Amino acid sequence: MAVILLSGCDFLSMEQVPGPEAIRGRMGRFLVNPDQIRGVYRNLDVDSLVFTYTARVDGEAAFWGRLEEGLQGSRWTEAERRGAMREYRRTYREGECDAERPDLAVFSSFEVARVSFDPTSQTVSMAYVQADGRSSDTTFEDTGVSQWAEKAIWPRFRDLISGK
């Protein structure tokens, strides 16, 4: 009988630091004149990203205006404003898909993106998570991924904003 120990093997880890191309590929609509894109966290099991970048814009109003322009024509809608943070959501019901998400025919998908902009440093902090849903799920919060995000994604986002 052979026992194989794989603990500590990096090649099995579902967590990594995303590169700029992975960030551009998934979150391109949220990048406003981006410079110095820096990945912080990515989970390969649960579609999620945490990252920062520098936005080359003239002030806070310009940043949010350009972000809203970039989201036009997409399903992303602003769901909440809390201080310097805005939360955007996008939902696809079972059988719905479009050019941005052509792979969503057999399940529902709930996506949440949180964005914070610091006008002094022009730093954008972002966190994103996507949850597959059952037909009975009606919101992101109905999915098991929402509880996982409370422990794995949103604390990393709060740490970025607070400068930790």
Task: Render pLDDT for 59-84 as a digit per residue (tens, 0 to 9).
Answer: 999 999 999 999 999 999 999 999 89
What integer pLDDT is reported at residue 13 of this predicted model?
Answer: 67
Tokens 């972000």 found at: 67
What b-and-e string marks burial along 66-89, b requiring 16 or more CB atoms within 10 Å of the CB? ebeeebeeeebeeeeeeeebbebb
What integer pLDDT is reported at residue 8 of this predicted model?
Answer: 46
Please give the Cα distance from 157 to 11 (Å, whole number).
25
CA 144, distance to chain mean position in Å, is 17
What integer pLDDT is reported at residue 15 of this predicted model?
Answer: 86
What integer pLDDT is reported at residue 104 of this predicted model?
Answer: 58
What integer pLDDT is reported at residue 94 of this predicted model?
Answer: 76
Classify the phi-psi angles of 30: left when phi > 0, otherwise alpha if psi is within -120 to 50, otherwise beta. Answer: alpha
Please give the Cα distance from 31 to 73 (Å, whole number).
16
Structural contact between residues 49 and 126, judged by C-beta atoms closer than 8 angstroms: yes
Structure confidence by residue, pLDDT tens digits, 104-149: 567 788 999 999 999 999 999 999 999 987 766 788 998 889 999 9
Structure confidence by residue, pLDDT tens digits, 148-163: 999 999 999 999 999 8
Residues 6 or more apart whose Cβ sits within 8 Å of residue 156 = 40, 41, 50, 127
Of 27-36, 47-56, 140-149, which range is least confident? 140-149
- What is the mean predicted confidence (pLDDT) over 20-41? 96
Structural contact between residues 41 and 57, judged by C-beta atoms closer than 8 angstroms: no
The pTM of the full predicted model, rounded to 2 decimals, is 0.87
What integer pLDDT is reported at residue 12 of this predicted model?
Answer: 54
What integer pLDDT is reported at residue 25 of this predicted model?
Answer: 93
- What is the mean predicted confidence (pLDDT) over 85-93? 93
Query: What CA–CA distances, in Å, run from 142 to 14, 15, 135, 147?
Result: 24, 24, 11, 9
Domains of the chain by residue range: 16-162
